[in-house]
Amino acid sequence: MSDLPTLELPAGHSRLLLHSCCAPCSGEVMETLVRSGIDFTIYFYNPNIHPRREYDLRKDENHRFAQKHGIPVIDADYDMENWFDRVKGMEHEPERGARCTSCFDMRFERTALYAHEHGFDLISSSLGISRWKDFQQVTGSGVRAAGRYEGVQYWEYNWRKMGGASRMIDISKRENFYQQEYCGCAYSLRDTNLHRIRAGRDVIRIGEMYYGEAEPAE
């Protein structure tokens, strides 16, 4: 255990609000923050996740893991209709394109607002740990959102560093986390299924795959 990394918040900051997208991505982040003795709260705001069953699976698992470690969780509204309005006209953008930027912006704007209203001086997100995400794209949205409020900063720490990405998978297998097979939104579900059909593969079956029972999907 002694070789596991510990962190310190950026100088001058004391309270972190961590936007969490799901348990697999945030498990390593949570454990590192707990191990480091950092005061933080989880903020779960992901109106992009579709359909509702997928959303509930990701949210409930995230809550259980946070509760296991005694981490407080803020459960924000599932305002799915606002998300669809936000990305209207970008339905056919590719992954990592303009739709994803708008999605990150929306989620981080709400995170930064909550931080501003409740005395958190630092925000960050587990989104950047995933190899499926563009780290700079995620970070840019976080910085923009925090910049709306004096006294709130986005922590640009790269959670993939020092073996974080590998530990993310190890923790997911240890905890038998639900294994998501697409980014989360209706359009990523649509496009992933189209790709699978063209490749002669079965479409995604929500709620069936778990880490430790099968290898992570490519």
Q: What are the two backbone dihedrals, phi and then psi, of residue 34, each rounded to the nearest 5 degrees?
A: -65, -45
pLDDT 10s digits, 189-212 = 999 999 999 999 999 999 999 998
17 CB-contact burial (10 Å; exposed 0-12 / middle 13-18 / buried 19+): buried
Q: Which sequence spans correspond to the domains of the chain?
A: 16-198
Does the pLDDT of residue 214 top 90, yes or no?
no
- Percent of the chain having pLDDT more than 90? 90
pLDDT of residue 25: 95
The residue with greater pLDDT, 218 or 48, is: 48
pLDDT of residue 108: 98
Does the pLDDT of residue 216 top 80, yes or no?
no
Does the pLDDT of residue 218 top 50, yes or no?
no
pLDDT 10s digits, 73-85 = 999 999 999 999 9
d(CA 33, CA 160): 14
- List CB contacts of 17: < 8 A, sequence separation 6 or more: 40, 41, 43, 74, 111, 114, 115, 118, 120, 122, 123, 124
Does the pLDDT of residue 5 top 90, yes or no?
no
Token pair 């925090």: residue:
146
CATH number belonging to domain 16-198: 3.40.50.620
Structural tokens at position 107: 């989620």
- Percent of the chain having pLDDT more than 70? 97
Does the pLDDT of residue 181 top 60, yes or no?
yes
Taking the model in full, what pTM does it have? Answer: 0.93
d(CA 25, CA 40): 16
